[in-house]
Amino acid sequence: MKLSKFKFTLPPELIAKYPAPHRDESRMMVVNRNTGKIEHKIFKDLIHYFGAGDVFVMNNTKVFPARLYGSKEKTKAIIEVFLLRELNKNLRLWDVLVDPARKIRIGNKLYFGEDESMVAEVIDNTTSRGRTLRFLYDAPHDVFKQTLYALGETPIPKYMDRPAEPEDVERYQTIFATEEGAVVAPSAGLHFSRELMKRLEIKDSKFVYLTVHSGLGNFREIDVEDLSKHKIDSEQIIIKADVVEAVNFAKDNGNKVCVVGSSVMRAIESAVSTDRHLKEFDGWTNKFIFHPYEFSVANAMVTNFHMPLSTLLMMVASFGGYELTMEAYHIAIREKYQFCAYGDAMLIL
């Protein structure tokens, strides 16, 4: 499969900058792999496609306020610092991205906050854009973390082309987010409201939660035509026994196992045993799924509409079938569906 197979023109106005007024009232395209039928629904219509014994596998990762703005010593140039992950609690070391990267060198100090009480020193260049920062802040770790996060803002994606607003604190987060560690929201999960989940539970559908701390790797540009030569960044995943038990029981009993989002699909496919059942997992995965690929567990998927040439689109096309998925995308553009994190949903059956 070649990169160029996933190229299409996405009108800029179809990239959602804001969420729908209500989580479960985004549009939803329903794609049936067996019949090729494509339907146009509202997300809350999900309830008509699932029933007793069906299982939804969700990602309970929690997005933290990862985007900060600091001033560089002497020049006072404003530098965007994007926190990726904490490397060492005791030493206050963080893996970060900086922008503009060309202005930051090892030894530079950055000052944060109106009083510039939070100071960070660049101690390593890890990539062309990445850096390791040591925060110089003398306080217990929980106080340091609280102060650091108070300086940050919700890391909505750059393609939204706007600053974060108060509404984003709630809406760029699923209602079931509990495990802090993501800088990218699991967008398919953003559509679920408490009311919809309650109605599905009344029908005896079940929700289980694994953890994938989503990073920026899915947004990195692919620079090879042969997809087998592309490497994606690793993401941390945790799959516990209750998830394994529920998923395997549903699979063995012929019920639907619906993964909510590409992050969940990657996690599940990274933790499959030789008998094609899910197993417990606590570690990292850099699994890159693209056609042709045989999926082991899930038989349904909720996802959003993704950017052209993205690894997310490649995974969806692998699950939905390349021809059918690309047809669905062309219809989505014609029907003016909204794309990306705050956009509309696709249900693949």
- pLDDT, one tens digit per residue, over 4-20 is 999 999 999 999 999 99
Task: Name the DSSP class of 10.
Answer: -
Query: Does 130 have pLDDT greater than 80?
Result: no
What is the CB neighbour count within 10 angstroms for residue 87?
16
Gap between the Cα atoms of 227 and 164, Å rounded:
34
Peptide bond preceding 308: is omega within 30 degrees of 0, i.e. cis? no
- Over residues 20-79, the pLDDT tens digits come to 999 999 999 999 999 999 999 999 999 999 999 999 999 999 999 999 999 998 899 999
Residue 298 has which token pair? 């899930």
Query: Does 216 have pLDDT greater than 80?
Result: no
CA distances from 131 to 71, 91, 122, 319 (A): 16, 15, 7, 36
- Over residues 226-262, the pLDDT tens digits come to 888 888 888 899 999 999 999 999 999 999 999 999 9
Peptide bond preceding 166: is omega within 30 degrees of 0, i.e. cis? no
**Residues 78/79/81/87 CA torsion (nearest 10 deg):** -120
pLDDT of residue 127: 63
Counting DSSP H helices and E strands in the chain, the numbers are: 7, 17
pLDDT-based confidence at residue 128 (cuts at 50, 70, 90): low
**Stated pTM of the model:** 0.92
Gap between the Cα atoms of 292 and 287, Å rounded:
14
- Over residues 165-175, the pLDDT tens digits come to 999 999 999 99
- Over residues 295-320, the pLDDT tens digits come to 999 999 999 999 999 999 999 999 99
The rounded percent of the chain whose pLDDT value lies above 90 is 81
pLDDT-based confidence at residue 349 (cuts at 50, 70, 90): very high
Gap between the Cα atoms of 323 and 316, Å rounded:
11
Q: Cα 299 vs. chain centroid, distance in angstroms?
A: 20
pLDDT of residue 105: 87
Gap between the Cα atoms of 92 and 133, Å rounded:
8
Structure-token match 């019920």, residue found: 255
pLDDT of residue 218: 64
pLDDT of residue 68: 95
Q: What's the N-to-C CA distance of the chain in angstroms?
A: 23
Query: Does 176 have pLDDT greater than 90?
Result: yes
Strand, coil or helix: what is 31? strand
pLDDT of residue 235: 87
pLDDT of residue 214: 80
pLDDT of residue 217: 66
Residue 333 has which token pair? 């553009």
What average pLDDT does the chain have?
94
Gap between the Cα atoms of 197 and 200, Å rounded:
5
pLDDT of residue 253: 97
